[in-house]
């Protein structure tokens, strides 16, 4: 392969600058890359500084933004357009123009299940994670050991989705009722005299079980931001409200909630976008079996396993479409604030 | 030009190998740890002459991409050693469980490996359609004609020969515990009816255990062990000719013949009295990983487990896999003793780069030299190859040895795993998925109709 | 993980509240505390403890499991382990760390580091430049471009795999290499990074920039002398997110770098452990914690920084 690469390399980049096998070589390559990127960065700044005057101003802005915009155009925009085209060209993605993939998506029962699951995820995860995060943020606000209490909820964020899935798969482990249990959840069922269950097998409960994992990861994020938002409510407002005799739940309803509204919106939408793209959890826990597949996972399967890239592309396009309202809302919100 | 592998030189090699293995075997039955195997292989020399025609290969590199990951990769890497020594080519090995999905990404992205071990001929067909697979060189083809003539068709797409078969396995096995059978006085069944009778007897005799255990969970590929069941039974109830028609879609997937086979499988796999030993009810088959599924045989909570020869690697260290050991396998019986259909599978090796060193390596992999080296550097088993000219006695692992004999048995009718031959969308998609749904409650007809409807049109 | 948007800085929040900003000594009770108080503080702490326990138990379970022997794990639940603490063992870790066929775990760790460091730094470089342009430099098409950059967050990275690989191999000629991984990670991170840093920049007072301009400073000077120091918290916050994402990534590196032991990151090795042994919890649990330890330490150590990054907007005078 190395040889092919070299011969195929139009620019003929010398091998040590591409790959390295020794530890030293790798680190050298890494430092070289950082220096290289820094040099590019410097070059952009230098180029920008050459432009002076009013028109120069404008050119400078464009040059500053250029590297990022260029990379995005090539790396995301171009593939996105390719995908849209593919989705309109039949199951294999290279046939003649048709809407067949889209009609398949909304008529085949198993793909409809995928859509139903995705809807469940997108509705449940943001709201549950935000609600739990908010409740916890309120409960521990200015309590003793707040930092530690926060870290406990926070920690799942540092764990990869695959790691989290392994953790929860263990919680859901199934053994027959009369045998010693190794999964915590079934042990609890057993202690209370219920039959043990196969949580990952029975639809639609299994989708809820996967959703719990995502909520577990995201609640910490919601909690962090909402806690910061709560702390930022000016004290005088609270004082004033209190002088007016507002306390307790009314304080929450009329002062806290309105004050953190913007933060709530951001938390909900961010988690929503993340949830639409969820892939690792489903793949690790059920591999999309037992009616648990979601759009992102089905896209991967159709494109790379079932040799139906056109259908996969239609799935991806559906993802964009689903996220558009969220993004638009966010942008409108941003405009208002600006 | 083909590799020189006359019977005589093969015999010499075999003798040498027996000696070196005999010595190594003193260390214990599972001495095939990857590093040992690597050192071992340095001892043998292969005839370098056949590779001279490919020119000077020193300093060249060939990349290999497979589904085989640690610890099974070690013996594979070791089996390349003589070739590397003799030609100076460096083989760069990469194994990934994600290979089946990743290979299409890499090929389409223009970054294919030099050689890929494809676990399904169906996948070869898909990849050939991209136009990136290089047809096998004549030297490889000559080797295949000589060493694995019956398997050549699995590496052929539209009349063109691309990929030489590599590893092989036999799927028509039922794993059991010889001691448990002896204690209870059970006989290894000789016919399908005997098998069903034995199943019922075990169920009646042992209220605490189940006659069968099964598991079809396998990550992305969940469902495949159940498709093997159907194929194996299909070969028995409908016969090889109908089986071939079914695989080629000359009869529909929901044909009565298939329905009969599925119903027969259902008699065992969907009968709560018969399954799922050590795990729970019928549904647990879907969530039990295929690696774990047969282990209850060891603790007596299950008596039989239908799985391929390579399953032997899944028994814990220290389990004796032999006719007189803790576990052993019997041939999944046919209707009567007059026929002997055998279901099996294996990989094929596709090349993506047109270069002398790649061709040389392809040729090596199809040679008896390689197959012999593979047998000798074998780690924990599963070293059977498609090559019929290898002395089966080189395979020290008893189940490999048995499989080699089964494969070369003249009275047996061999058929390749049907799902591996079907188009990927079915064979690695809806057939698997359909079987999962079937296990979790869907009825026979709905399952077969679902798979039939998914068969790619045109 | 694309889970961060900075509009949640307290600044944007408190902007909605009309209030003079005189810092008084904090009263004992906050708005939240007050709401919680309504729930009777004993109940409040009870509920908090319940949530905290629910959130930590799964991890603790697997952690305890990773120190139990293979036989114990399958014979009894991890909660029984405390009855016999003598039975704890490091065997699982020893086995998980055992070199694979050709590589030791250290090598995978080195690979991860070599992948991660540039993949975190590069988007910071590029995004802060672009963010500055979007925030403070008027140029034609600025708004449209900015919205486009933000909107690209919706593109699932899977669709970009084949086209990008094609470009690296056939157009740029570096195929599967570290550069492909670095650049890919950068591309996938840019929408979020640009958006995040932009929003922090917007919240810095415009007068600061005005004054510097009047003094004759160019954009380059302003960017380095004034903005960069103020941006540190925002950059740190993004940096942590990107670090976690790249460190935990499997898919991107498998595609753009390959899975050979010479180049593959830790996640590849853990996935391998998970794959070959079915439900071998003894190996899975140990493997999972080995892969987790660095991100968790980094995260805990920098947590304060991270929260401060989120609060950064609020620091303005």
Q: Which pLDDT score, from 0 to 100, does residue C134 have?
A: 87
Question: Looking at the structure, do residues B278 and B187 belong to the same domain, yes or no?
Answer: yes
pLDDT band at C316 (very low <50, low <70, confident <90, very high): very low
Question: Looking at the structure, do residues A48 and A175 belong to the same domain, yes or no?
Answer: no
Question: Looking at the structure, do residues B259 and B233 belong to the same domain, yes or no?
Answer: yes
Closest in A38, A158, A259 to C244, CB measured: A158
Question: Looking at the structure, do residues A27 and A149 belong to the same domain, yes or no?
Answer: no
Q: Is residue A171 within 8 Å of C61, Cβ to Cβ?
A: yes
Three state DSSP letters for chain C: CCCCCHHHCHHHHHHCCCCCCCCCCCCCCCHHHHHHHHCCHHHHHHHHHHHHHHHHHHHHHHHHHHCCCHHHHHHCCHHHHHHCHHHCCCHHHHHHHCCCCCCCHHHHHHHHHHHHHHHHHHHHHHHHHHHHHHHHCCCCCHHHHHHHHHHHHHCCHHHHHHHHHHHHHHHHCCCCCHHHHHHHHHHHHHHHHHHHHHHHHHHCCHHHHHHHHHCCCCHHHHHHHHHHHHHHHHHHHHHHHHHHHHHHCCHHHHHHCCCCCCCCCHHHHHHHHHHHCCCCHHHHHHHHHHHHHHHHHHHHHHHHHHHHHHHHHHHCC
Q: For residue B219, which residues of chain A lie inside 8 Å, CB to CB?
A: 287
Mutation to test the A interface, candidates C155, C222, C260, most A Cβ within 10 Å: C155
Which alpha helices (DSSP H) does B26-137 contain, by range? Answer: 34-41, 49-52, 73-78, 81-87, 99-108, 121-128
In a domain, A299, yes or no: yes
Question: Looking at the structure, do residues B165 and B187 belong to the same domain, yes or no?
Answer: no
Contacts of A33 (CB under 8 A, 6+ apart): C118, C178, C179, C182
Give yes or no for residue C261 having a pLDDT over 80.
Answer: no
A5/C188 touch (CB, cutoff 8 Å), yes or no: no
Question: Looking at the structure, do residues B149 and B179 belong to the same domain, yes or no?
Answer: no
pLDDT band at C1 (very low <50, low <70, confident <90, very high): very low
In a domain, A197, yes or no: yes
A313/C159 touch (CB, cutoff 8 Å), yes or no: yes
Question: Looking at the structure, do residues A236 and A273 belong to the same domain, yes or no?
Answer: yes
Closest in C19, C31, C174 to A230, CB measured: C31
B110/C164 touch (CB, cutoff 8 Å), yes or no: no
In a domain, B211, yes or no: yes
In a domain, A300, yes or no: yes
pLDDT band at C296 (very low <50, low <70, confident <90, very high): confident
Closest in A26, A71, A136 to C186, CB measured: A71
Give yes or no for residue C154 having a pLDDT over 80.
Answer: no
Q: For residue A175, which residues of chain B lie inside 8 Å, CB to CB?
A: 280
Question: Looking at the structure, do residues A146 and A80 belong to the same domain, yes or no?
Answer: no
Contacts of B153 (CB under 8 A, 6+ apart): none
Residues in C 68-87 with any Cβ partner in A closer than 8 A: 73-79
Question: Looking at the structure, do residues A145 and A203 belong to the same domain, yes or no?
Answer: yes
Mutation to test the B interface, candidates C103, C276, C279, most B Cβ within 10 Å: C276
Q: Cα-flanking dihedrals φ and ψ of residue C75, to 5°?
A: -95, -30
A238/C300 touch (CB, cutoff 8 Å), yes or no: no
Distance from CA of A107 to the nearest CA of C (A): 23
Q: What is the pLDDT of residues B207-266, one digit of tens each?
A: 889 999 999 988 778 899 999 999 999 999 999 999 999 999 999 999 999 999 999 999
Question: Looking at the structure, do residues A174 and A293 belong to the same domain, yes or no?
Answer: yes
C187/A76 touch (CB, cutoff 8 Å), yes or no: yes
Beta-bridge partners for B306:
B174
Distance from CA of A182 to the nearest CA of C (A): 4
Percent of chain C with pLDDT over 90: 12
In a domain, B354, yes or no: yes
Q: Which pLDDT score, from 0 to 100, does residue C115 have?
A: 92
Pairwise pLDDT comparison (C220 vs B405), residue with the higher score:
B405
Contacts of C56 (CB under 8 A, 6+ apart): A152, A155
CATH of the domain at A290: 1.10.3720.10
Chain A contact for C182 (CB, 8 A cutoff):
yes
Mutation to test the C interface, candidates A170, A255, A275, A296, most C Cβ within 10 Å: A170
Question: Looking at the structure, do residues B180 and B318 belong to the same domain, yes or no?
Answer: yes
Q: Is residue B387 within 8 Å of B147, Cβ to Cβ?
A: yes
In a domain, B112, yes or no: yes
Q: For residue C259, which residues of chain B lie inside 8 Å, CB to CB?
A: 94-96, 98
C187/A41 touch (CB, cutoff 8 Å), yes or no: no
Question: Looking at the structure, do residues B376 and B434 belong to the same domain, yes or no?
Answer: no
Residue closest to C149 by CA, chosen among C190, C100, C199, C94? C190
Of A154-163, A322-331, B417-426, C33-42, the one with minimum mean pLDDT is C33-42
B109/C165 touch (CB, cutoff 8 Å), yes or no: yes
Question: Looking at the structure, do residues A123 and A204 belong to the same domain, yes or no?
Answer: yes
In a domain, A95, yes or no: no
Cβ burial A181-204 (10 Å sphere, 16+ → b, else e): bbbbbbbebbeeeeebbbbbbebe
CA distance C8 to C15: 11
In a domain, A8, yes or no: no
Domain total of chain B:
2
In a domain, A7, yes or no: no
In a domain, B314, yes or no: yes
Q: For residue B105, which residues of chain C lie inside 8 Å, CB to CB?
A: 161-162, 165, 255
Pairwise pLDDT comparison (C130 vs B48), residue with the higher score:
C130
In a domain, A313, yes or no: yes
Closest in C26, C150, C178 to A19, CB measured: C178
What does the angle CA A75 – CA A161 – CA A84 come to, to the nearest 5 degrees?
30
Calculate mean pLDDT across residues B266-282.
90
B291/C279 touch (CB, cutoff 8 Å), yes or no: yes
Residue stretches of chain A with pLDDT short of 50 = 1-11
In a domain, A98, yes or no: no
Give yes or no for residue C187 having a pLDDT over 90.
Answer: yes
Question: Looking at the structure, do residues B110 and B230 belong to the same domain, yes or no?
Answer: no
Domain total of chain A:
2
Q: Which pLDDT score, from 0 to 100, does residue B198 have?
A: 94
Chain A contact for C234 (CB, 8 A cutoff):
no
Question: Looking at the structure, do residues B72 and B31 belong to the same domain, yes or no?
Answer: yes
Token output for A246: 């507002």
Averaged pLDDT score across all residues of chain C: 77
Q: For residue C174, which residues of chain B lie inside 8 Å, CB to CB?
A: none
Q: At B170, is the secondary structure helix, strand, or coil?
A: strand
Q: B95-109, B243-257, C94-108: which has the highest mean pLDDT?
A: B243-257
Q: Is residue C218 within 8 Å of A49, Cβ to Cβ?
A: yes
Q: Which pLDDT score, from 0 to 100, does residue C99 have?
A: 65
In a domain, B416, yes or no: no
Distance from CA of A109 to the nearest CA of C (A): 24
| Domain coverage including residue B56 | 7-170+346-389
Beta-bridge partners for B350:
B116
Question: Looking at the structure, do residues A26 and A145 belong to the same domain, yes or no?
Answer: no
Calculate mean pLDDT across residues B293-308.
91
B436/A198 touch (CB, cutoff 8 Å), yes or no: no
Question: Looking at the structure, do residues A245 and A129 belong to the same domain, yes or no?
Answer: yes
In a domain, B336, yes or no: no
Question: Looking at the structure, do residues A30 and A138 belong to the same domain, yes or no?
Answer: no
Percent of chain A with pLDDT over 90: 16
Closest in B63, B220, B286 to A201, CB measured: B286
A304/B114 touch (CB, cutoff 8 Å), yes or no: no
Q: What is the pLDDT of residues B2-55, one digit of tens each?
A: 333 333 343 343 443 333 333 333 333 333 333 444 444 444 567 787 787 788
Q: What is the pLDDT of residues B140-164, one digit of tens each?
A: 999 999 999 989 999 999 999 999 9
C277/B109 touch (CB, cutoff 8 Å), yes or no: no
Question: Looking at the structure, do residues B327 and B446 belong to the same domain, yes or no?
Answer: yes
Question: Looking at the structure, do residues B321 and B373 belong to the same domain, yes or no?
Answer: no
Q: Say yes or no: ipTM exceeds 0.85.
A: no
Residue closest to B3 by CA, chosen among B348, B350, B361, B354? B361
Give yes or no for residue C100 having a pLDDT over 80.
Answer: no
Closest in A4, A283, A305 to B428, CB measured: A305
Mutation to test the A interface, candidates C21, C24, C35, most A Cβ within 10 Å: C35
Distance from CA of C174 to the nearest CA of A (A): 7
The number of beta carbons lying within 10 Å of the beta carbon of residue B423 is 18
pLDDT band at B458 (very low <50, low <70, confident <90, very high): low
Give yes or no for residue B391 having a pLDDT over 70.
Answer: yes
A305/B219 touch (CB, cutoff 8 Å), yes or no: no
pTM, to two decimals? 0.83
Residue closest to B104 by CA, chosen among A145, C165, A277, C222? C165
Question: Looking at the structure, do residues B314 and B264 belong to the same domain, yes or no?
Answer: yes
pLDDT band at B365 (very low <50, low <70, confident <90, very high): very high
Q: How many beta-carbon contacts under 8 Å exist across B and C?
A: 74
Give yes or no for residue C32 having a pLDDT over 80.
Answer: no
Give yes or no for residue C72 having a pLDDT over 60.
Answer: yes
Question: Looking at the structure, do residues A153 and A226 belong to the same domain, yes or no?
Answer: yes
Question: Looking at the structure, do residues A170 and A307 belong to the same domain, yes or no?
Answer: yes
B110/C260 touch (CB, cutoff 8 Å), yes or no: no
Beta-bridge partners for B328:
B176
CA distance B307 to B288: 14
Calculate mean pLDDT across residues B445-454.
92
Q: For residue B116, which residues of chain A lie inside 8 Å, CB to CB?
A: none
In a domain, B415, yes or no: no
| Domain coverage including residue A148 | 103-337
Give yes or no for residue C63 having a pLDDT over 80.
Answer: yes
Q: Which pLDDT score, from 0 to 100, does residue B331 have?
A: 93
CA distance B226 to B293: 12
In a domain, B381, yes or no: yes
CATH number 3.30.980.10 is the correct assignment for the domain at C99-315? no
Question: Looking at the structure, do residues B159 and B198 belong to the same domain, yes or no?
Answer: no
CATH of the domain at B314: 3.40.190.10
Calculate mean pLDDT across residues C135-143.
82
Token output for A320: 């964009």
Closest in C16, C38, C133 to A259, CB measured: C16
């Amino acid at each position: 392969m190395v040889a092919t690469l070299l011969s195929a390399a139009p620019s003929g980049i010398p091998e040590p600058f591409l790959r390295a096998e020794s530890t030293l070589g790798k680190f050298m390559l890494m430092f070289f890359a950082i220096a290289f990127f820094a040099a590019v960065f410097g070059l952009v700044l230098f180029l920008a500084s050459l432009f002076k005057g009013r028109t120069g101003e404008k050119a400078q802005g464009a040059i500053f933004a250029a590297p990022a915009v260029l990379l995005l155009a090539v790396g995301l925009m171009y593939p996105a357009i390719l995908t849209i085209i593919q989705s309109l060209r039949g199951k294999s993605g290279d046939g003649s123009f048709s809407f067949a993939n889209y009609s398949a998506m909304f008529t085949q029962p198993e793909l409809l299940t995928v859509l139903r699951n995705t809807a469940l995820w997108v509705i449940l995860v943001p709201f549950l994670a935000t609600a739990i995060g908010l409740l916890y943020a309120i409960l521990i606000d200015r309590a003793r050991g707040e930092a530690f209490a926060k870290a406990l909820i926070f920690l799942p964020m540092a764990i990869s989705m695959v790691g989290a899935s392994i953790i929860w798969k263990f919680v859901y482990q199934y053994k027959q009722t009369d045998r010693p249990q190794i999964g915590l959840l079934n042990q609890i069922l057993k202690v209370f005299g219920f039959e043990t269950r196969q949580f990952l097998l029975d639809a639609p409960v299994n989708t809820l079980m996967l959703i719990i994992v995502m909520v577990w990861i995201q609640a910490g994020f919601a909690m962090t931001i909402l806690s910061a938002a709560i702390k930022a409510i000016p004290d005088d407002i609270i004082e004033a409200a209190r002088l007016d005799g507002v306390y307790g739940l009314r304080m929450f309803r009329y002062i806290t909630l309105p004050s953190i509204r913007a933060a709530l919106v951001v938390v909900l939408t961010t988690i929503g976008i993340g949830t639409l793209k969820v892939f690792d959890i489903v793949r690790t826990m059920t591999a999309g079996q037992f009616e648990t597949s979601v759009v992102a996972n089905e896209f991967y399967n159709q494109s790379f396993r079932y040799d139906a890239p056109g259908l996969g592309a239609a799935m991806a396009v559906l993802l964009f479409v689903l996220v558009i309202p969220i993004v638009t809302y966010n942008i409108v919100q941003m405009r208002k604030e600006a | 030009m083909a590799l020189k592998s006359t019977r005589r030189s093969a015999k010499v090699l075999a003798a040498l190998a027996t000696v070196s293995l005999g010595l190594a075997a003193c260390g214990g039955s599972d001495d095939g740890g990857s590093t040992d195997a690597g050192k071992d292989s340095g001892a043998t020399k292969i005839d370098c002459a056949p590779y001279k025609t490919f020119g000077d290969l020193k300093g060249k590199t060939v990349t290999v991409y497979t589904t085989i990951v640690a610890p099974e990769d070690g013996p594979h890497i070791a089996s390349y050693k003589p070739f590397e020594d003799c030609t100076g080519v460096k083989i760069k090995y990469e194994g990934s469980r994600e290979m089946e999905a990743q290979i299409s990404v890499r090929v389409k992205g223009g970054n294919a490996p030099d050689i890929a071990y494809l676990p399904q001929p169906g996948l070869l067909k898909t990849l050939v359609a991209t136009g990136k697979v290089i047809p096998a060189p004549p030297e490889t083809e000559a080797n295949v004609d000589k060493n694995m003539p019956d398997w050549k068709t699995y590496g052929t797409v539209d009349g063109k020969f691309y990929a030489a078969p590599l590893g092989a396995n036999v799927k028509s096995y039922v794993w059991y515990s010889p001691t448990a059978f002896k204690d209870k006085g059970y006989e290894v069944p000789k016919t399908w009816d005997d098998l069903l009778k034995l199943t019922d007897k075990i169920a009646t005799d042992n209220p605490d255990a189940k006659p069968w255990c099964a598991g079809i969970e396998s990550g992305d590929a969940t469902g495949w062990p159940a498709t093997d069941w159907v194929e194996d039974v299909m070969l028995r109830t409908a016969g090889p000719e109908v089986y071939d028609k079914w695989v080629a879609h000359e009869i529909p997937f929901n044909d009565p013949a298939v329905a009969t086979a599925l119903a027969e499988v259902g008699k065992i796999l969907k009968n709560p009295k018969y399954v799922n030993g050590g795990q729970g009810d019928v549904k647990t088959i879907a969530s039990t990983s295929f690696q774990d599924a047969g282990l209850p045989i060891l603790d007596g909570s299950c008596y039989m487990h239908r799985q391929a020869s390579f399953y032997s690697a899944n028994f814990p260290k220290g389990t004796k896999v032999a006719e007189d050991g803790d576990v052993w396998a019997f041939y999944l019986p046919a209707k009567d003793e007059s026929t002997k259909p055998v279901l099996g599978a294996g990989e094929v090796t596709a090349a993506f780069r047109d270069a002398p060193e790649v061709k040389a390596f392809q040729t090596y992999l199809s040679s008896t030299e390689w197959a012999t080296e593979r047998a000798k550097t074998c780690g924990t088993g599963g070293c059977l190859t498609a090559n019929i000219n290898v002395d089966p006695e080189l395979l020290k692992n008893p189940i490999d040895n048995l499989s080699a004999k089964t494969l070369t048995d003249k009275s047996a009718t061999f058929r390749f795993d049907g799902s591996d031959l079907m188009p990927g969308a079915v064979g690695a998609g809806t057939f698997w998925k359909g079987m999962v749904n079937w296990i979790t409650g869907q009825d026979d007809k709905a399952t077969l109709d679902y798979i039939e409807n998914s068969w790619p049109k045109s | 993980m694309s889970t961060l948007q900075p509009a949640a800085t307290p600044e944007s929040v408190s902007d909605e509240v009309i209030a003079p900003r005189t810092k008084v000594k904090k009263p004992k009770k906050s708005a939240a505390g007050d709401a919680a108080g309504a729930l009777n503080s004993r109940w409040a702490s009870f509920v908090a403890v319940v949530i905290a326990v629910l959130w930590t138990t799964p991890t603790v379970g697997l952690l305890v499991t990773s120190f139990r022997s293979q036989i114990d794990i399958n014979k009894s639940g991890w909660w029984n382990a405390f009855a016999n603490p003598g039975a704890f063992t490091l065997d699982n870790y020893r086995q998980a760390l055992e070199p694979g066929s050709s590589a030791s775990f250290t090598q995978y760790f080195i690979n991860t580091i070599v992948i991660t460091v540039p993949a975190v730094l590069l988007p910071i470089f590029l995004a802060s430049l672009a963010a500055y342009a979007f925030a403070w430099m008027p140029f034609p098409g600025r708004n449209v471009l900015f919205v486009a950059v933000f909107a690209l967050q919706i593109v699932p990275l899977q669709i970009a795999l084949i086209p990008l690989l094609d470009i690296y191999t056939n157009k740029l000629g570096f195929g599967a290499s570290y550069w492909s991984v670095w650049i890919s990670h950068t591309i996938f991170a840019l929408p979020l990074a640009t958006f995040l840093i932009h929003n922090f920049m917007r919240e810095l007072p415009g007068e600061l920039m005005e004054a510097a301009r009047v003094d004759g400073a160019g954009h380059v000077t302003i960017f380095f002398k004034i903005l960069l120091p103020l941006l540190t918290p925002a950059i740190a916050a993004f940096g942590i997110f990107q670090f976690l994402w790249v460190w935990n990534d499997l898919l991107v590196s498998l595609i753009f770098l390959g899975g050979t032991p010479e180049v593959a990151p830790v996640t590849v090795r853990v996935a391998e452990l998970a794959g070959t042994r079915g439900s071998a919890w003894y190996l899975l649990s140990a493997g999972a914690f080995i892969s987790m330890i660095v991100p968790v330490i980094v995260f805990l150590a920098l947590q304060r920084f991270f929260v401060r990054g989120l609060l950064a907007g609020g620091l303005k005078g």
